[in-house]
Amino acid sequence: MEHRELEYVGFWVRVVASLIDTVLLMLIVMPLLAAVYGRGYLDTSIGAVPGTPDLLISWVLPAVAVIAFWIARQATPGKMLFQARIVDARTGREPGAGQCIGRYLAYFVSSIPFCLGFLWVAIDRRKQGWHDKLAGTVVVRPARGGVAPVVFPEGDAFPEPAGVSRHSPRIEKTGGKQ
């Protein structure tokens, strides 16, 4: 089923959203690491993870934060700035927790080799990276015109009545004919 009110989110928008998320995470992670290890930690390049706090703060905390945002809001703050959200590629509904966790783990697959799985977004018809394909997700936003409509093969993207979902699944249009 086509959804002309939505469009796939392309490569450059996703790159900028990812950079915003990275900066936000660094604003949280770096002070925590400095608090645990002292300011000298930030001045040196240590090749390996020096201890459990580093592993928890540098790897586990960001993973939990990103997955929590995907589950709660279908997007990280960077994607939210562009009104982008992650949805199930077949139905257009919110992705399940398992899909969100799988999508995050699939980031590691997308990064090998040479981040080709992320670059794939630039050439894919549905703008899916390898992590999206593996998790069965797409990233969409309100249509700005001039692009192919989003297609969800297994039906209506928004079949639930308002109030049933954790958030309103519709993106409201502003201005123009409704």
Q: Where are the domains of the chain?
A: 2-151
Is residue 155 very low, low, confident or very high in pLDDT (cuts 50, 70, 90)?
Answer: low
pTM: 0.80
Distance CA 87, CA 103 (A): 11
pLDDT, greater one: 92 or 40: 92
pLDDT at 1: 52
Decide if 90 contacts 65 (C-beta within 8 A).
no
pLDDT at 80: 98
For the segment 139-166, the average pLDDT, to the nearest whole number, is 66
pLDDT at 173: 47
Distance CA 48, CA 50 (A): 6
